[in-house]
């Protein structure tokens, strides 16, 4: 079966004061209908930029798709017109943005904001759209949905606002839902509720989910497959369980070791917090012909500094871009 979304050799460039930098560098992956996949990595590694590239929402004048392909249901999106992308956004591909308080309009009720999407994309009348907005609030488990549909965003808690964002994203029954850090600033209990809600909605509607996060625990909770990104590149990808049990990239191992409950055996040194030393390189360093994780890697060799590592394939559809992947 052909994938619902296919990204091949994608390169996204940003124009900065220091020149043009490849914020996404040769990224490839596939997403099937009803599948869940997570992009994981530190801030600045390119996760959100990948999502904006898929949505056709790259920053004007400074961002562009330099090469590669993005196909949705067989349709090439990199060459699609602005009108076509507007038709797809919210209708076929929806996105939940990081901070619901800044994404929701404070002067309109949540019901009006959901109904607006339904009127724009589904052609519903005002009354029908309002009724469906109420049903969507109920579907995302907001208590007394009929009484809360007329509330403004400031009258809702952070978890409820996030549920409103999910309702807006699901209003037109999209085939792909992109969730960019959907549980940021929410407490652990509410995070678990949001994850359960997204998983239930995926099973009920068949919507494929791309989740963007820096939290390996969230990946283990939500996704079937994962892509570990570093400095705009794919460091490792494959089934979640396979990668967590057998990481092939030092960066992946570092991320997993930061979350004790993901480790099978808690050794004596796990009584102290583990961290990945150093920081992500600056954007001006992206694109260099070497391993960009080399300066932070405990297993670095001269080969890592001389040449960019190729992506190696392993069992169970696991792929890793590390010169020493076979030895890890």
SS3 216: helix
pLDDT at 189 (0 to 100): 83
Least Cα distance to 52 among 28, 84, 16, 77 occurs for 77
**CA-based angle 58:240:10, to the nearest 5?**
30
User: What is this structure's pTM?
Assistant: 0.91
Main-chain phi, psi angles of 296, to 5 degrees: -115, 0
Q: For the structural domain made of 5-92+174-320, what CATH number should be given?
A: 3.40.50.300
User: In the sheet that 63-72 helps form, which strands lie side by side, from edge to edge?
Assistant: 19-31, 5-16, 63-72, 75-76
- Range(s) within the chain of domains with CATH label 3.40.50.300: 5-92+174-320
The model's confidence at residue 311, banded by pLDDT at 50, 70 and 90, is very high
The answer to whether 209 and 33 are in contact (CB under 8 A) is no
User: What pLDDT score was predicted for residue 124?
Assistant: 92
pLDDT averaged over every residue in the chain: 91
Q: Is 284 helix (H, G, I), strand (E, B) or coil?
A: helix
Other CB atoms within a 10 A radius of the CB of residue 67 amount to 13
User: What pLDDT digit, counting tens, does each position of 244-290 carry?
Assistant: 999 999 999 999 888 766 655 555 555 566 788 899 999 989 999 99
pLDDT at 51: 95
Residue 26's contacts (CB-CB under 8 Å, 6 or more residues apart) are 9, 10, 11, 68, 233, 234
**Per-residue confidence band for 37, with pLDDT thresholds at 50, 70 and 90:** very high
Q: List pLDDT tens digits, range 7-29.
A: 999 999 999 888 899 999 999 99
Give the span between the Cα atoms of 48 and 271, in whole angstroms.
33
Looking up tokens 């999910």 gives 166
Q: What are the tens digits of pLDDT across the range 63-97?
A: 999 999 999 999 999 999 999 999 999 899 999 98
């Amino acid at each position: 079966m052909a994938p619902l979304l296919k990204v091949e050799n994608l390169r996204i460039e940003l124009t900065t004061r220091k020149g043009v930098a490849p914020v996404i560098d040769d990224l490839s992956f596939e997403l099937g209908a009803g599948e869940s996949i997570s992009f994981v990595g530190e801030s600045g590694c390119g996760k959100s930029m990948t999502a904006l590239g898929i949505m056709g929402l790259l920053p004007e004048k400074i961002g562009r798709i330099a090469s590669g392909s993005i196909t949705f249901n067989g349709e090439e999106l990199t060459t699609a017109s602005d009108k076509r992308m507007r038709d797809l956004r919210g209708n076929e591909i929806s996105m939940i943005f990081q901070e619901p308080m800044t994404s929701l309009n404070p002067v309109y009720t949540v019901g009006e904001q959901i109904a607006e999407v339904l009127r724009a994309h589904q052609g519903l009348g005002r009354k029908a759209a309002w009724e469906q907005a109420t049903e969507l609030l109920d579907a995302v488990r907001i208590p007394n949905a009929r009484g809360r549909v007329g509330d403004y965003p400031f009258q809702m808690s952070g978890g409820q606002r996030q549920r409103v964002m999910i309702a807006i994203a699901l209003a037109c029954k999209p085939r792909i839902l992109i969730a960019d850090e959907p549980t940021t600033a929410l407490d652990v209990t509410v995070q678990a509720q949001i994850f359960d809600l997204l998983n239930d909605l995926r099973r009920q509607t068949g919507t494929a989910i791309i989740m963007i996060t820096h939290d390996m625990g969230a990946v283990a909770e939500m996704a079937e497959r994962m892509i570990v990104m570093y400095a705009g590149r794919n460091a490792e990808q494959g089934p979640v369980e396979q990668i967590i049990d057998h990481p092939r990239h030092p960066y992946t191992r570092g991320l997993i070791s930061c979350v004790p409950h993901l480790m099978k055996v808690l050794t004596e040194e796990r009584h102290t917090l583990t961290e990945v030393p150093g920081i992500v390189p600056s954007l001006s360093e992206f694109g260099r012909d070497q391993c960009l994780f080399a300066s932070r890697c405990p297993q670095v060799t001269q080969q890592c500094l001389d040449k960019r590592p190729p992506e190696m394939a392993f069992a169970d559809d696991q792929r890793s871009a590390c010169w020493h992947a076979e030895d890890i």
